Amino acid sequence: MLSKSLNIMSTVKLKECLTHIRTQLDNVVDFWLKHSHDTVHGGFFTCLGKDGHVYDEMKYVWLQGRQVWMYCRLYRTMGRFCKPEILEAAKTGGEFLRKNARVLGSSNPWKCAFCLTRDGRAVKVQRSIFSECFYIMAMDELSRVTDDKDLQLEAEQMMEQIIYWVRVDSSGLGRPSLPGDVPTNSMAVPMMLLCLVQQLTEGREEAVTQKYKELGNWCVEQILQHIQRGGTAILENVSVNGEELPGCQGRLQNPGHALEAGWFLLQYSAMWGDDNLQKTAINKFVELPYQNGWDKKHGGLFYFLDVDHHCPTQLEWNMKLWWPHCEALIAFLMAYSQTKKPELLERFYQIYEYTFKHFPDNDSGEWYGYLTQEGKVALDFKGGPFKGFFHVPRSLFMCECILTDLLAKHN
- For residue 175, what pLDDT is reported? 86
Q: Report the amino acid identity of residue 407.
A: L
Helix axis angle for 130-146 and 61-77, nearest 10°, is 30
Residues belonging to the chain: 411
Contact in structure between 118 and 99 (CB atoms under 8 Å):
no
CB atoms inside a 10 Å sphere around CB 39:
6
pLDDT at 10: 85
Single-letter amino acid code for the residue at 42: G
pLDDT for position 5 = 54
Q: What DSSP string describes 347-388?
A: HHHHHHHHHHHHSB-TTT-SB--EE-TTS-EEE--S--SS--
Q: Which sign does the torsion angle of CA 330, 334, 337, 342 carry?
A: negative
pLDDT computed for residue 6 by the predictor: 67
Contact of 27 with 366, CB cutoff 8 Å: yes
Residues of the chain with pLDDT under 70: 1-6, 9
Instruction: Judge whether 327 and 260 are in contact, CB under 8 Å.
Output: yes
**Whose CA is closest to 212, among 271, 257, 171, 258?**
271
Gap between the Cα atoms of 369 and 66, Å rounded: 17
Residues 302, 305: Cα–Cα separation, whole Å: 7
Please answer whether residues 236 and 187 qualify as being in contact, where contact means their C-beta atoms are separated by less than 8 angstroms.
yes
